[in-house]
Structure 1
Amino acid sequence: MEWYQRVEWHHGFDEEPIVIYSEIDAKGFETRKVEQFRDGSTTFADELTATGSSWLSEVALPSLEEINEQSEFKAEPIAASTFEGVWRSAHEERG
């Protein structure tokens, strides 16, 4: 069973994403990801495609609780439909 999450990353680096949306498989590995940057641009990755600096993690992701233990992150679950909307928008942006 897949699940979806949104992670805000609070930092001052312009070249790093500020929001990361992930689709995660039953074993905890990303299958799709969208990264949103401070300027509003997005990049994305899946098993076949990667844009910009986005790539899928090669290791299982930590739990939401573990992510939230780090003060620079705020992680929350999101609905599949929310992820799909973000995924579609990222693809449309790339034209």
Structure 2
Amino acid sequence: MTYLKVKRIHPVPDQPVSTYSELDDERWELRKVEIFPDGRILYADPDVEFEETGLSTMPYPSFEEIATNPKYDAKVISNAEFEKIWAMATA
């Protein structure tokens, strides 16, 4: 598993400011949490799509591809950090 946090450098009102993703070995999203500028925290997993948040319909780009995009600050995070944000989102 890979866990990513992707933060948008210049937030857009209707787009998430941060996205946390759990990816399998083929880079498919298994779970996702999105935090919006207005404070909403939405999530998705294979069984639940909360409001406009859903899992990607294609494999996630490589970390290098995301990290070189000047619109985003991407970081690999730990399972524990992902589980903390997941618990907050699903509480």
**TM-score normalised according to structure 1 size:** 0.91
Q: 2-side partners of 1:46 and 1:21: how far apart? A: 12
Q: 1:54 aligned to 2:53?
A: yes
Q: 1:64 aligned to 2:63?
A: yes
Instruction: Structure 1 unaligned segments of length 5 or more: list them.
Output: none
Q: Which residue in the other structure is 1:35 paired with?
A: 34
Q: 1:9 aligned to 2:8?
A: yes
- Quote the offset at 1:15 in angstroms: 1.0
Q: Which residue in the other structure is 2:44 paired with?
A: 45
Instruction: Structure 2 unaligned segments of length 5 or more: list them.
Output: none
Q: 1:20 aligned to 2:19?
A: yes
Q: 2-side partners of 1:12 and 1:67: how far apart? A: 16
